[in-house]
Structure 1
Amino acid sequence: MSSADFLTDFHHVATIGATPRQGVDRQAATAEDAQSRAWFSKWITDAGYTLHVDGIGNMFGLIEWTPGAPYVLVGSHLDSQPLGGRFDGAYGVLAARNVDELMRASGTAPSFNLAVVNWFNEEGGRFAPSVMGSSVFAGLFDQEKMLDVTDLAGVTARAALAEIGYLGTDPRPVTVSYAEIHIEQGRILEREEIAIGVVDRSWYTQKLDIEVLGEQSHTGATAMADRHDALVAAAKIILMVREVTTDFADEAIVSSVGQLTLEPNSPIVVARRVRLVADLRSGDPQIVQTARATLLEKIAALAVEHDIQITVTDFDVRPIRYFPENGLQLAEAAAVRAGLSTRRIQTMAGHDSVAMNTIVPSIMLFIPSVDGVSHCEREFTTDTDMVAGLALLTEVTTDLVNGALVDSATAPALASTVRA
């Protein structure tokens, strides 16, 4: 597949679930996600590969050169955030297929086969937690529990996948390594004018599920002194979550409240219940723990002040994951051959590669994001940067299938630890 073919495919996929401002809205297991999955399925089968769909909706395009050999996985995800960007995830899926043409042209069978993967529900916008499909694959999440997760409308992931026809039963490929390329979603590479970020570690992540329980009452008839307004207290918590970052050095921690639900959500009723999710992330776990402790103390005082009940529950805690040094060096050497500048970089966002790195040696690559903007329609990366990343991923994946990171002697023992 030439770079022109890649760009044609990429810009076509961006029309699936397209929004008026050049973004996409393809939330997991929606009709729009089903359309992108149908495109992926046709793309795989037209190329003569074998398509497998597993029990959590992950899709694998299996390219077998060496019968019986395990697989190198390469890919990302096609689902998006609501009103998300067209580059996040989709770029990494479409960039994964060049290696087959190189192998066929060489006339020699590599040590390992290749599987191009589209992971289910990486974004977590509809079903929480995020990075769901790859985490089930890696054994970090229980498949049945994840299938029972509901969206805000009460629809389970199981029912949603069945509705679009992608609740599969196929076996998972036995895997020896993983590679993924992605937009940075930050501005470090753009600011430093560097072509490629080689990810050496992930950030520590801590989410807090916060429930605020007040008392429902009339917005017009209830005296202000008699109100127990859950939304007012929740608004103060939202500001606390933001302000706690000022206790630390600039860029040492990021925080947000990205989801809020309100009951009864009537224009003439004081809110009785608010549920919100706070997200704390840092490269230093102690900073997150200190911020968490500060928030818990302030939230407890807030509950007393407003005479309401507030419950805070930890969930989706993700430790720092370090990518293997030999994988970093492999990627850097490939970049030298491709004439691309690199720097090592940390990922503040979660990615499928972070989950996969817990079971097999994994490589994560970034290309620049214009203005560092992501998870919105304005997200943008140039064709030039995408093509440069495509060339590097091709180099890296060619090395991987030829046993540069995991040799044939090591592969059987490694593969036996991976859930097939």
Structure 2
Amino acid sequence: MTTPSFLTDFHRVAEIGATPNHGVDRQAATAEDRETREWFRTFAQTRGWEVRVDGIGNQFALVELVPGAPYVLLGSHLDSQPLGGRFDGAYGVIAGLHAADRIANSHAAGDAAAPRFNLAVVNWFNEEGGRFAPSIMGSSVFAGIMDEAEMLEVRDLRGVSVREALDQIGYLGSDARPEIAAYAEIHIEQGRILEREGIPIGAVDSSWYTQKLDIEVLGEQSHTGATLMSDRHDALLGAAKVIQRVHEVTDQFPPETLVSSVGQLTLEPNSPIVVARRVHLVADLRADDEAVVLAARDRLLADIRLIEAEHGLTIHARDFDVRANQHYPESGIRLSEEVAASLGLGARRIRTMAGHDSVAMNRIAPTVMLFIPSVDGVSHCEREFSRDEDMAAGVDFLTEVARRLLTGALQAE
């Protein structure tokens, strides 16, 4: 059974960067992010585990069980969205640490099956992408999908680079990355399926196709009071119409087939008496079917050309952060179903609409992705919530999955 220490630790970490409405604000490489990293380091070092930080700020706690062997890696991320929820990401890291602690104790007591691999827990850098785009940065660099040098030069809206920000909090590392044999991540669902069906565990079988459009709308700066309406080239008006089209494109497909949004917008010169000359925004398109996303993209680009001509603007739109569908190993899904049966917990196969670090890791290692229920399916906001009993059951589940991974369960086939 789960010891109270997991819940104690979870709720303690939720105090770091806490917001008035029970969320957290711990954006990547901020002082609050540093505090959670220090908590992670202390947890590991007090147990005698080695701690490493790599060149993109990923933080690892290493539990040596078989000297020289690769590692089964557990984890998620401790960074959050602005005014985000306290469960997203952090749950998976803290669950991973406690699963590793249980396994290490069993191994020391001689109560565990002989492992083939070592065990490690990771706190991935900048999964959320709220401060530095793109998201899922640390795990993507680890997996070789993104270039480390290029990502270190990415800048936030204030002009601070990833390199500078990590250096400022003391987490621009240079340690060797561990060789991994398998990866497992547990996360809140961020949807309603598990709660609606009363099932405690979701075994993720695939991810949606996602892509973003990086859009720059260029107009002409002019006086809001002295410039005739017919003489204006208002970048903000053009951007507003683009945003509307991004929302409306979902109506051209069957319900719940496609989701879209614009979540970030910057405006220049951002003065109340100046017609905007430049707006930058990012459109996000996601569907289970790649063809749907590509069709929506093409329709948006056609709409953008019309808006450009109507208002005398120049609009640049480029593909950005494109992520293909990922299918998780059937052997890992079956393993999750076997663990569910052994623990007397219900489980179902489920797809993820959101991106996770496991999407990157699944490219390079056998990967298991698990969900626990989210109340009302709410996420990326302060109202995000998962019940203590669901979190505790998830830790039990992750621990058993990790035990089996350590004995080579995904390498057997």
Query: TM-score, normalised to structure 1's length?
Result: 0.96
User: Could you tell me whether the CA contact under 8 Å between 1:66 and 1:109 is conserved in 2?
Assistant: no
Deviation at 1:107, TM superposition (A): 5.8
1:298-326 deviation digits (Å, cap 9, x = unpaired): 11011101111111111111000100000
User: Could you tell me whether the CA contact under 8 Å between 2:113 and 2:407 is conserved in 1?
Assistant: no
Query: Given residue 345 of structure 2, which amino acid in structure 1 is its aligned partner?
Result: L
User: Could you tell me whether the CA contact under 8 Å between 1:65 and 1:109 is conserved in 2?
Assistant: no
Q: Secondary structure at the match of 1:95?
A: helix
Whether 1:88 and 2:88 are equivalent positions in the alignment is yes
Equivalent residue, structure 2, for 1:27: 27
User: Could you tell me whether the CA contact under 8 Å between 1:74 and 1:180 is conserved in 2?
Assistant: yes
* Aligned mate of 1:360, from 357, 365, 372: 365
Q: Secondary structure at the match of 1:239?
A: helix
Equivalent residue, structure 1, for 2:216: 211
* Aligned mate of 2:240, from 230, 235, 244: 235
Name structure 2 gaps, 5 residues minimum.
Answer: none
Instruction: Say how many residue pairs are matched.
Output: 408
User: Could you tell me whether the CA contact under 8 Å between 2:16 and 2:24 is conserved in 1?
Assistant: yes
Whether 1:101 and 2:111 are equivalent positions in the alignment is no
User: Could you tell me whether the CA contact under 8 Å between 2:23 and 2:382 is conserved in 1?
Assistant: yes
Query: Given residue 360 of structure 2, which amino acid in structure 1 is its aligned partner?
Result: A
Q: 1:58-137 residue pairs with structure 2 within 5 A?
A: 58-96=58-96, 97-98=98-99, 99-105=103-109, 106=111, 109-137=114-142
Equivalent residue, structure 1, for 2:410: 405
Identical-residue share of aligned pairs (%): 66
Deviation at 1:338, TM superposition (A): 1.1
Query: TM-score, normalised to structure 2's length?
Result: 0.97
Whether 1:372 and 2:377 are equivalent positions in the alignment is yes
Name structure 1 gaps, 5 residues minimum.
Answer: 411-420
Deviation at 1:108, TM superposition (A): 5.4
Query: Given residue 28 of structure 2, which amino acid in structure 1 is its aligned partner?
Result: A
The alignment yields a C-alpha RMSD, in angstroms, of 1.1
After the TM superposition, which of the residue ranges 103-112 and 147-156 deviates more from structure 2? 103-112
Equivalent residue, structure 2, for 1:415: none
Query: Given residue 38 of structure 2, which amino acid in structure 1 is its aligned partner?
Result: A
Whether 1:16 and 2:16 are equivalent positions in the alignment is yes
Distance 1:50 1:244 in 2: 50
* Aligned mate of 1:344, from 333, 345, 349: 349
Deviation at 1:221, TM superposition (A): 1.2
Change in Cα spacing, 1:376 to 1:304, as seen in structure 2 (3 Å) is same
Equivalent residue, structure 2, for 1:328: 333
Equivalent residue, structure 2, for 1:418: none
User: Could you tell me whether the CA contact under 8 Å between 1:195 and 1:385 is conserved in 2?
Assistant: yes
1:107-160 deviation digits (Å, cap 9, x = unpaired): 654111100100000000000000000000000001000001000111000010
Deviation at 1:103, TM superposition (A): 2.5
Distance 2:202 2:105 in 1: 26
Equivalent residue, structure 2, for 1:416: none
Deviation at 1:342, TM superposition (A): 1.1
Equivalent residue, structure 2, for 1:255: 260
* Aligned mate of 1:183, from 183, 188, 198: 188
Distance 1:248 1:69 in 2: 49
Q: 1:143-182 residue pairs with structure 2 within 5 A?
A: 143-182=148-187
Query: Given residue 100 of structure 1, which amino acid in structure 2 is its aligned partner?
Result: A
Query: Given residue 27 of structure 2, which amino acid in structure 1 is its aligned partner?
Result: Q
Distance 1:146 1:212 in 2: 25
